[in-house]
Structure 1
Amino acid sequence: MYQYTEFDKAFVRSRAAQFRDQLERWQAGRLDEDSFRPLRLQNGWYVQRHAPMLRVAVPYGELSAAQLRVLARIAREYDAPEADVYELASATQLKLGTLNLPTHYAHFTTRTNVQFNWIPLSKAADVMDLLASVDMHGIQTSGNCIRNISCDERAGVAPDEIADPRPFAEIMRQWTTLHPEFAFLPRKFKIAITGAIDDRAATDWHDVGLRLLSNEHGDLGFCISVGGGMGRTPMTATVLRKFLPWQHIMNYIEAVVRVYNRYGRRDNKYKARIKILVKAEGQRYIDDVEAEFLAIVEEDGGPHTIPQSELDRVRASFVPPQRRARTAHNPQASVAALNAMAAQHPMFARWLQRNVASHKDPSMRIVTLSFKRLNQAPGDASANQLDLVADLVDRFSAGEARVTHTQNVVLPWVHVDDLFDLWQAARSAGLASANVHLLTDMIACPGGDFCALANARSIPIAEAMTERYQDLDELHDIGEINLHISGCINSCGHHHSGHIGILGVDKDGQEWYQITLGGADGSNASGAARAGKVIGPSFSAAEVPDVVEALIATYRDARCDVEGRTERFTETVQRIGLGPFKSAADEVRVKVEDLA
């Protein structure tokens, strides 16, 4: 993991002290609400439906065990609202008929950040000091700036990796932090980077997507895509450069953002994202970026060209960790012992199949801890669970974890010989569900239970789906399906990219849900990034589980074998079209109407 320099540490501490001063002046009435609002937002503090929400930056998804323990402490000691606020929220939710709202929790987001939903603003400065003690903060997790840079959760350990993207992500983090020219963009700006063949970072759904690759001469560079995004007008990114030498990546991003800053709309926030500019201007935008890039490099001397020495300096923080010595380790013997253990324990065998992935080091594996379970919202982690994960990370993964795009946690440095012990420990903690990439491994935003922007609740829908599909045999037979749930059109639950997407909509003050089919995030299993298509009028909350079940039944009836394997859900949708699925969903609606 990257180790903060003394400058980094001093900067984060000074930022926390600055926020404490701002908060105290606001509390004393010396700073009005309009002045304080942008200051708290710049540090990740929102005001949501019932209470403040803090978004903590987790650059490229990496967390140390020490950081996990501080997040656990914040959840345990601070993530509980003032009594009157909670009573009001509970009364509101009781009226709506939802579950009790969880407190003392953290929430993993789809962009690998961490959120807290109940911390009172009166305690915000204490929380920022705690975060700073382990080199964490909320800087640029909000506002119209370049947000926290996300990455492939298997960066540095994936067998299909061309180059480790984390050093570049770290250099970009340092460069973009409080960048004076890009502090007030037309709208928020998100960058994702991967160095692997399989795009696990969903780069084509970002304002800028970066993919490391080698050209025909073996030189390392980036394929650069611009203009992806979800929300009201979902668009996948356009390739601007098929290959750019790595040294110039920040010069090029500066050109991309500078042209956006110059021409992006500021009169309408719904049309202010860079995707709208790229779509409207087309080739003219691309030409302007190229002209700006040439001016930066040729006229200004390429001020942000990355020297080899700087890349080497940052790369030195991303070397494989030192692990305990293993006497006369025999990889073949370890795998044989693992297979024997799997034969004795079918649940362990299933976990190995779904939650354990290959590693570039043959003696290691990449393990996903599943945070998808009954009576817990997708991506939520209690204070106790965070402490348990920290212990597992220290014991089994050299003190390092990764937050995933799908709201789980990855342990990237697990030795083959430790897999059975890890499985037992994770199982005791309730984090060993063998459901990774299956239907219950869903993505969901907090929705109307917390978010003031939401039209409908996401958590009860996720809970209903999890409760209905508890049979692992059935889940494995269905196969890999990405179910994504958003409470509003802003698509924080990435419903557009779900194989099955669920979108909460408002209909005369009531909660309803649109269903989309055929979306993809751009990974190998999903195919090229694309937005799903709506399959008709919206459904009530009570209808949604039956509709999803009907869609899956249609797939199971229609799927066929493809080159010795079972056809995936998205492949069947593309082959037979939306018609049969729409008919199945309509039948559910008719049955409900008949019963009514």
Structure 2
Amino acid sequence: RNFTADQFSGVAQDEIEDARPWCEILRQWATFHPEFAFLPRKFKIAICGSKRDRAAVAFHDIGLEIIKDAQGETAFKVFVGGGLGRTPVIGALIHDCLPKEHVMSYLDAILRVYNQLGRRDNKYKARIKILVKAMGAEAFKQKVEEEWAHIKDGPMTLTQEAIDHAFTFFQPPAYEAIDAAAAQSALDDQRLTDPRFAAWLSHNVVAHKQPGYAIVNVSLKETGFAPGDITAEQMEAVAELSEQYGFGELRSTHEQNLVLPDIRKTDLFAVWQKLDALRLATPVIGTLNDMICCPGGDYCALANAKSIPVAEAIQRRFDDLDYLYDLGEIELNISGCMNACGHHHIGHIGILGVDKKGQEFYQVSLGGSQSNDAAIGKILGPSFAQDEVPEVISKLLETYVANRTEEERFLDTYRRIGIEPFKERVYA
């Protein structure tokens, strides 16, 4: 698997350091690496360079969080053994401040320990999360430290020259010098001209670290279409927008949307109009209807149940934008089987398709999180038939609204009151 990072890397306002050069350094290290060639299963590595974790580092085989040490130098928190699927596990923190020059050798030591001690007799057990869980995080860390001691200051030690070279591949584009105050003032005036544009600005546009610019989320969540789907014609049109209004760059997100990372604030109204005409401006980013959904039984031979019809039924049930906005931030994730391609374990609300004697049913979980406060959801109770799911979601939301305080998100309320009030309402 390739290395992944925050979709806003290099442009995020809360960025500590751009994660992309580090992805490239480690990609070069991993390519044709004998230890990688010997791995029994897929192996996923994510790097987060921002204050808010948008790369889900705690749920990867190895997750790296960029931090600054006491001297202000780049360093890494290292998480190992995270993952979803049949055995959902939150990664263990085994190093809280790894110096940047040792990142390759330390990851090499992790791979060596895994290849030496990991299971290969059962493909379902041939993941590093199984080894870390079986050994315990401290014992695994000790083995890694012992292995690392032999290679720590060897050829894999990064020089500043090598690091600087990687950063040359990710230089900022040729931003214009924009009067940020004037651009914002004009944008505020435009916001008043159309409430639909104002809603899109509030939910689909993210602050950029370059004055006068913004990050645009291209929403692939229009009701009636599979979440994350985009036609060839729409994709070509978005590519043209990236060239006309940006620097020809287009990014994908694991929330199943697209990102135009460098849009001038003065161009946001024009970009919105064109995205709206393409039906790619649904202003639901971060809401219940910005759901993650796997292809499910409609397309996947592994699935136990369909996912897309469930997603559409929920979208149609909660199509009132004012209600969605009042609910605030809610992450809803849907998977059609235990392989968890829809990340249902880490949704604030998770839905899992299960098979019951040849019938499709859906298990609901609550309290998951993919961010800095990583958590795996807890199963609500017995599963539901497909046509019951929208009503179940409605009852969960009613419980949240009845119990929340003014500042609380769904996840905050759940953590404060626990699962029982939700369970009582749903199964009453």
| TM-score normalised per structure 1 | 0.70
Aligned to 2:172: 320
Q: Is the 8 A contact 2:221 2:227 kept in 1?
A: yes
- The equivalent of 2:112 in structure 1 is 258
**Correspondent of 2:268 among 398, 419, 431:** 419
> The residue matched to 1:381 in structure 2 has which SS?
coil
User: What are the Cα deviations for residues 484-533 of structure 1, in whole angstroms up to 9, with x where unaligned?
Assistant: 0001111110000000000011110111110000100124xxxx101000
Matching of residue 341 in structure 1 with residue 341 in structure 2: no
1:531 paired to 2:385: no
Unaligned 5+ segments in structure 1 are 1-146, 588-596
CA distance in 1, matches of 2:274, 2:285: 18
2-structure distance, mates of 1:498, 1:178 = 35
Whether contact under 8 Å (1:182, 1:261) holds in the other structure is no
The alpha-carbon deviation at position 335 of structure 1 amounts to 0.8
Q: Is the 8 A contact 1:231 1:491 kept in 2?
A: yes
Task: Find the aligned partners of 1:155 and 1:240 in 2 and give their Cα distance.
Answer: 24
> Aligned with 1:175: secondary structure?
helix
Question: Aligned pair 1:287/2:128, yes or no?
Answer: no
Contact 1:483 1:500 in 2 (8 A): yes
Distance 1:372 1:180 in 2: 41
- For residue 307 of structure 1, the aligned residue among 144, 147, 159 is 159
Deviation at 1:307, TM superposition (A): 2.1
Aligned partner of residue 270 in structure 1, secondary structure = coil
CA drift of 1:180 comes to 2.5
Q: Could you report, residue by residue, the CA deviation over 1:387-430 in whole angstroms, capped at 9, with x for unpaired residues?
A: 01101111122101111121101111111111111111111111
Would the aligned equivalents of 2:19 and 2:49 in 1 still touch at CA under 8 Å?
Answer: yes
- The aligned amino acid for 2:422 is F
Cα distance in 1 between the residues matched to 2:416 and 2:84: 25
Give the Cα separation in 1 of the matches to 2:28 and 2:224: 39
Report the residue type matching 2:209 in the other structure: K
For the 8 Å contact 1:547–1:584, the answer to whether it is kept is: no
Tell me the CA shift for residue 187 of structure 1: 2.2
* SS of equivalent residue, structure 2 residue 300: coil
Deviations 1:41-96 (A, max 9, x none): xxxxxxxxxxxxxxxxxxxxxxxxxxxxxxxxxxxxxxxxxxxxxxxxxxxxxxxx
Match of 2:248 in 1: 399
**For residues 342-362 of structure 1, what are the alpha-carbon distances to aligned partners after superposition, in whole Å with 9 as ceiling and x for unaligned?**
011111111111111111112
Work out the CA distance in 1 between the residues paired with 2:35 and 2:402. 56
Match of residue 328 from structure 2: 479
1:222·1:242 contact (CA, 8 Å) conserved in 2?
A: yes
**What is the CA–CA distance in structure 2 between the aligned matches of 1:530 and 1:330, rounded to whole Å?**
42
Q: Does 1:376 align with 2:231?
A: no
SS of the aligned residue for 1:493 comes to coil
Determine helix, strand or coil for the equivalent of 1:549: helix
Give, as a single letter, the amino acid of the residue that structure 1 aligns with 2:115.
N
CA distance in 2, matches of 1:534, 1:375: 28
Distance 2:74 2:121 in 1: 40
**Residue equivalent to 2:386:** 541
Amino acid at match of 2:99: P
State the partner residue of 2:92.
Answer: 238
Counterpart AA for 1:160: D
Match of 1:504 among 339, 353, 360: 353
In structure 1, distance between residues paired with 2:234 and 2:426: 38
* 1:296 matched residue in structure 2: 151
Secondary structure of the 2:192 match is helix
1:313 positional shift: 1.8
Summarize the alignment of residues 122-137 of structure 1 with structure 2, pairs less than 5 Å apart.
Answer: none
Partners of 1:173 and 1:458 lie apart in 2 by 33
Counterpart residue type for residue 412 of structure 2: E
Aligned to 1:222: 76
Q: Are residues 1:437 and 2:286 paired? A: yes
Task: Give a deviation string over 1:104-152, Cα, whole Å, max 9, x none.
Answer: xxxxxxxxxxxxxxxxxxxxxxxxxxxxxxxxxxxxxxxxxxx111100
1:185 paired to 2:39: yes
Alignment RMSD (CA, Å): 1.2
Q: Does 1:517 align with 2:366?
A: yes
| Structure 1 residues 8-23: aligned runs within 5 Å | none
Is this contact kept in 2: 1:550–1:584, CA < 8 A?
yes
**AA at the equivalent of 1:430:** R
Q: In the aligned structure 2, how far is the partner of 1:413 from the partner of 1:402?
A: 11
From 551, 554, 579, the equivalent of 2:420 is 579
1:260, 1:277 within 8 Å by CA — same for their partners in 2?
yes
Aligned length: 427
1:356 paired to 2:356: no
1:526-567 deviation per Cα after TM superposition (whole angstroms, max 9, x unaligned):
xx1010000111111111111111111111111112xxx3x1
1:245 Cα deviation from its structure 2 partner: 1.1
- The equivalent of 1:556 in structure 2 is 401
Which of 124, 139, 148 aligns to 1:270? It is 124
Deviation of residue 248 (structure 1)?
1.2
Residue 463 in structure 1 maps to residue 312 in structure 2: yes
Structure with higher Rg: it is: 1
CA contact (8 A) 2:35 2:111 kept: no
The AA in structure 2 aligned to 1:262 is Q
Structure 1 runs (4+) deviating above 4 angstroms are none
Q: Is the 8 A contact 2:106 2:152 kept in 1?
A: no
Secondary structure of the 2:283 match is coil
Offset at residue 375 of structure 1 (A): 2.1
| Rounded Cα–Cα distance in structure 1 between residues aligned with 2:234 and 2:112 | 43
Q: Distance in 1 between matches of 2:306 and 2:104?
A: 40
Whole-angstrom distance in 1 between the partners of 2:418 and 2:99:
41
For residue 337 of structure 1, report the CA deviation from its aligned partner.
Answer: 0.7
Separation (CA, whole Å) in 1 of partners of 2:355 and 2:52: 37
| Structure 1 residue 177: Cα displacement | 2.2
User: What amino acid is the match of 1:245?
Assistant: P
2:29 aligned to 175, 187, 196, which one?
A: 175
Deviation at 1:184, TM superposition (A): 3.2
User: Which residues in structure 2 correspond to 1:71-90 (within 5 Å)?
Assistant: none
- Superposed displacement of residue 581, structure 1: 0.8
**Cα distance in structure 1, aligned partners of 2:2 and 2:295:** 20
Unmatched segments (≥5 aa) in structure 2:
none
Instruction: Output the CA distance in 1 between the equivalents of 2:245 and 2:395.
Output: 41
Shift of 1:186: 2.9
Task: For CA contacts below 8 A with separation 6 or more, give which structure has more relative contact order.
Answer: 1
Q: Name the amino acid aligned to 2:22.
A: F
Residue aligning to 1:23: none
The answer to whether the Cα contact below 8 Å between 1:458 and 1:487 also exists between their aligned partners in 2 is: yes
Give the letter for the 2:140 counterpart: Y
**Secondary structure of the corresponding residue to residue 543 of structure 1:** helix
Distance in 2 separating the partners of 1:202 and 1:435: 21
Match for 1:353: what amino acid?
S
Q: Percent of aligned pairs with the same residue? A: 51
